[in-house]
Structure 1
Amino acid sequence: MKIEDWFQTLRSKAETIEEKWSDATEQERLQLADQLFYLRQVSDTVVDLWLQFEERLSIAIRRIKQMEGQLPVDDKHTQVAVTNETSDKDSSQSEVASAPLKKGKESTSELKEANPYDPVFRRGEGFYHLRMFQDAKKCFEELMQHAPDWESGRLYYAYSLLFCEEQEHAFREFRLLSRSASSPTVVASSFNAIGCILAEEQQWLEAAQAFKSSLEIKTDQEEARYNLALCYLKDGDAQEALDEIEKCLQKDEDDWESQMLWLRAAQLLQSMDESAELAPPSPIQLPTRDLDTDTLQEMASLYESVGNYHRAQICYHFLTERLPREGWAWHGLAWNTWLIAGTKRALTLMKKAISLAPDQDDFTFSYGWMQLFDGKIDEAVRAFRQMLEKNRENRLGQSGMISAYEKMGEYAAAKRMAKEFTEDQEPYVRSLGYFHLGRLAVVEENWRMAEQYFQRTLPHISQLREVPIYMQLCASKLGEQTSVKELLQPEL
């Protein structure tokens, strides 16, 4: 049996025990507990054997390198390659308002070849890479008592503290290394970690300075560049974030985290400036089936927000392949297909979404909206009324009916329903009501009234992107010169 298959068997046993536990009798739970205890013994044995193997392997590699003349055989400091190992996302990232920071995981940069505490270092290193950070911390804490100048050991110690959520202590250790370490890699890594700690406290300006310091020491410190872009984004500097993240994509066009960050920054910039023309940089490739479900779903949403419906459509296509019973995936595919190719190609997909989730009002509304804009008003009205039969106060169904009344020329009925929105407790619903009234005033060419209604939607301008265009039209009809950019500026 392959080792991968053996571990899969162990994982399956653990999952089976978890699934059976809630419905098990007291006697069955005792048996399941015994099985869990056995699995824990297996895990402990594997860890011990792996640590022994890792230590022996490291010794063998060093001795072979010495025999080949790649390493000196005296007691002086020996340089060993540094690897960041940023591919392990679970233990190298932290969530900051839904966006991951890259803390990094450092391997050895300097060690004393004949140091008597080398076994302690190796054991701590083994625990660290197994993500057993409490055990790693104990090893490196012991190492620091006997070899406080061992830079790699102190760096590992600081990271272990960080992943044990002892931020204050970790911050002191990283600060010490940033000021005293001789290795540029250790200094740069320390500044990057300092920036991550500050960013988690939302001190964006100070964090950005730490990431800049990391890049000044090592210009190829890509984790720090990504983190700097993230800080710019969280601090509202969308253009600066785009500039930095594009540098990351030039280095690694397959970095999906950087691609996601570019999309978030583009979304923010577009919400700040509707006239901004954004096209994904050439390194951003088309989404692939290899991406996990959550990534595909978020990318689809972000692509939609910046108007790149073709890429959003690709994401949803892959999602429907992977999740054929999920109505939201079919709805996303249908909606973006409609935006690209119109109702004829999208309607079948939308019906599929509704059949999988018949109680989802969003899907019924989308179906009605497609029919409305295809000129099939009776079909649209039937869909909206179906929503209102279930709930007379359904604002989505009412909004669809207001647009249907407008199409049918029944302006009085449309105004009556829109005015109900303006009395709602929710600010967005009130703004939607004023938006509908503004559009009806435009149809009646009452430009001053339309302008006043649209002005009242401004607190929610980001959700109603058509408003600046309508206001520019009103200004033009009233003989005023107002640009879309001016309309987007907040009032002082």
Structure 2
Amino acid sequence: MKIEDWFQTLRTKAQSIEERWKEASEQERLQLADQLFYLRQVSDTVVDLWLQFEEKLSNAIRHIKQMEGQLPAATQEEQAETAMAKEGEALVQKEAGKTAAKEAGSEVKHGKLPQEMHAYEPVFRRGEGFYHLRMFQDAKKCFAQLVQESPDWESGRLYYAYSLLFCDEMETAFREFRLLAKSASSPTVVAISYNAIGCLLAEEKQWLEAAQAFKTSLEAKPDQEEARYNLALCYLMDGDAQEALDEIEGYLQKHEHDWEAQLLWLRAAHLLFQMDETAELAPPASLTLPNRELDSETLQEMAHLYEAVGNYHRAQICYHFLTERLPKEGWVWHGLAWNTWLIAGSERGLTLMKKAISLAPGQDDFVFSYGWMQLFDGNIPGAILAFRHMLEKDSENRLGQSGMISAFEKVGETREAKRLAKQFLDDSDPYIRSLGYFHLGRLAMIEENWRLAEQYFQRTLPHADQFREIPIYLQLCASKPGGQAAESELVQP
């Protein structure tokens, strides 16, 4: 039997036990538990045999190279080179409060291995094997022994620090990384250690201190790209949008297809627009189109961020991929319809919106969007019909009422529009009240009552981020000579 077939048999047995467990009786579960214990013993034996084989193989290769003259003799100092793989880097997603792992490999060269360290190389190889098998408790024991017997072996101490980290011994890991950062002779080890320190600080949301650690990592090794990515992320989480953009654009120059970096750029650009609507940003040339390989959650977030920065074509592509993957989800078709309408107009957009409504007929947002498209394409009767359909189900539906206000405004029925808008002012929701003031301000502008319009717009300022037109409207009101408003019409403080 081939070894692949043997392992497939073991995987099948484990899967069978998992599937049978739920419906098994108490006696059957005892038998299944025995089978699991047996499989665990098999696994432990295989790992141990593999480690012995790996050690023997490494020794054989090294000795053969020595005999062929490709390496110095064992009695001389020899070069040792190992790989630190999958460094844990704290990546905190904005607003979600979650952390994820961004894994990257880094080659760590130790320089010449002193003769007295040769005796501990089997321990190092064994610990390295456990580490790459993600058996971090076993790896920690091996590297703890190595560090005690050979404290100057920098790569061994680095493996020890990461093993502690993955065993959730954060404080001890932090101390080891700090020791390496201060004492290591290898710039690579120093850079990796400061990067790890930054990640641990970022886990505690100490953004300023974490950013300083990432900067120090880059000072030790300017091409430490993981630290550059993490520095950009720290800036973003600390609200420094422009600094985040500067760093991530530098990262994207070397990693143009890194979708996580593209996503970070979009988040930073969105934040900058929120702080300064006049900011002009051109996406870097390396910001590539979304692709089908991304998971649905990532495509959805990218679509929202593309929409926020006005890149409707790329948002449309994200939703197109999502419709292929989630063809029965109304919100996907709604997103595709909305962005298609913004790009190409109503002919295609309305058709897609109808599909969204058919998949989620109870979703008022979709009906509102359908009416809104018709309103701005000049089909006032069609828009009013959509908004009235919403109000027939719920006469207090603020979304439907808001659509009707805009429709009345279009046809010049300002009195009816005012009546509806003033109902918003008694709502318990501060945002709804601000929306009412916004509508009333626009209606006052139509009547050229600039003084009253300015007062209405001033009352929307607590939610100004929801109404991007407010600064422009206030400037317009300030530039006018000022119409006279009756004392009863003035907004009371």
Bin for the TM-score computed over the shorter chain: 0.7 to 0.9
Letter of the 2:109 partner, please give it.
S
Q: Which shows bigger deviation, 47-56 or 462-471?
A: 47-56
Unaligned ranges ≥5, structure 2: 483-493
| Structure 2 counterpart of 1:469, from 457, 468, 472 | 472
Q: What is the distance in 2 between the residues matched to 1:326 and 1:417?
A: 33
Pairwise CA distance, 1:187: 0.6
Letter of the 1:407 partner, please give it.
K
Structure 1 position 359 matched with structure 2 position 362 = yes
**Counterpart contact for 1:447–1:477, Cα < 8 Å:** yes
Pairwise CA distance, 1:299: 1.3
Q: What is the distance in 1 between the residues matched to 2:89 and 2:398?
A: 44
1:48-79 per-residue CA deviation (whole Å, 9 max, x = no partner) reads 45434443443345445545655433366644
**Counterpart contact for 1:105–1:159, Cα < 8 Å:** no
Call closer, same or farther: CA 1:59–1:336 in 2, change over 3 Å.
farther
Secondary structure, counterpart of 1:145 in structure 2: helix
- What's 2:331 paired with? 328
- What's 1:489 paired with? none
| Cα RMSD (Å) | 3.1
Q: What is the distance in 2 between the residues matched to 1:372 and 1:456?
A: 27
- What's 1:235 paired with? 238
- What's 1:296 paired with? 299
Q: What is the distance in 2 between the residues matched to 1:435 and 1:105?
A: 53
Call closer, same or farther: CA 1:322–1:34 in 2, change over 3 Å.
farther
Q: What is the distance in 1 between the residues matched to 2:15 and 2:378?
A: 53
Pairwise CA distance, 1:455: 1.8
Q: What is the distance in 1 between the residues matched to 2:4 and 2:432?
A: 54
Q: What is the distance in 2 between the residues matched to 1:403 and 1:361?
A: 17
1:352-397 per-residue CA deviation (whole Å, 9 max, x = no partner) reads 2222222222222222211222222333233333333444443323
Secondary structure, counterpart of 1:462 in structure 2: helix
- What's 2:58 paired with? 58
Unaligned ranges ≥5, structure 1: 480-492
Call closer, same or farther: CA 1:268–1:176 in 2, change over 3 Å.
same
- Report % sequence identity: 74
Q: What is the distance in 2 between the residues matched to 1:309 and 1:470?
A: 25
Q: TM-score, normalised by structure 2?
A: 0.86
* Paired residues for 1:35-434 under 5 Å: 36-37=36-37, 40-41=40-41, 43-63=43-63, 65-67=65-67, 69=69, 71-74=71-74, 78-81=78-81, 83=83, 85=85, 92-95=89-92, 97-98=97-98, 102=102, 108-110=108-110, 115-434=118-437
Q: Which shows bigger deviation, 392-401 or 234-243?
A: 392-401
Pairwise CA distance, 1:422: 2.9
Q: What is the distance in 2 between the residues matched to 1:426 and 1:6?
A: 64
Pairwise CA distance, 1:303: 0.8
Letter of the 2:133 partner, please give it.
L
After the TM superposition, list the runs of 4 or more consecutive aligned residues in structure 1 that deviate by more than 6 angstroms. 1-13
Secondary structure, counterpart of 1:470 in structure 2: helix
Pairwise CA distance, 1:36: 4.8
Q: What is the distance in 1 between the residues matched to 2:3 and 2:402?
A: 59
Letter of the 1:313 partner, please give it.
Q
Pairwise CA distance, 1:252: 1.4
- What's 1:486 paired with? none
Call closer, same or farther: CA 1:62–1:432 in 2, change over 3 Å.
farther
Pairwise CA distance, 1:329: 1.7
Q: What is the distance in 2 between the residues matched to 1:327 and 1:316?
A: 11
Q: Which shows bigger deviation, 200-209 or 426-435?
A: 426-435
Larger gyration radius, structure 1 or structure 2: 2
Q: What is the distance in 2 between the residues matched to 1:163 and 1:4?
A: 29
1:410-457 per-residue CA deviation (whole Å, 9 max, x = no partner) reads 323322332333333333222222222222222222222222222222
Secondary structure, counterpart of 1:297 in structure 2: helix
1:472-492 per-residue CA deviation (whole Å, 9 max, x = no partner) reads 22223248xxxxxxxxxxxxx
Letter of the 1:477 partner, please give it.
K
Structure 1 position 452 matched with structure 2 position 448 = no
Secondary structure, counterpart of 1:277 in structure 2: coil
Letter of the 1:248 partner, please give it.
Y
Pairwise CA distance, 1:165: 2.4
**Counterpart contact for 1:102–1:226, Cα < 8 Å:** no
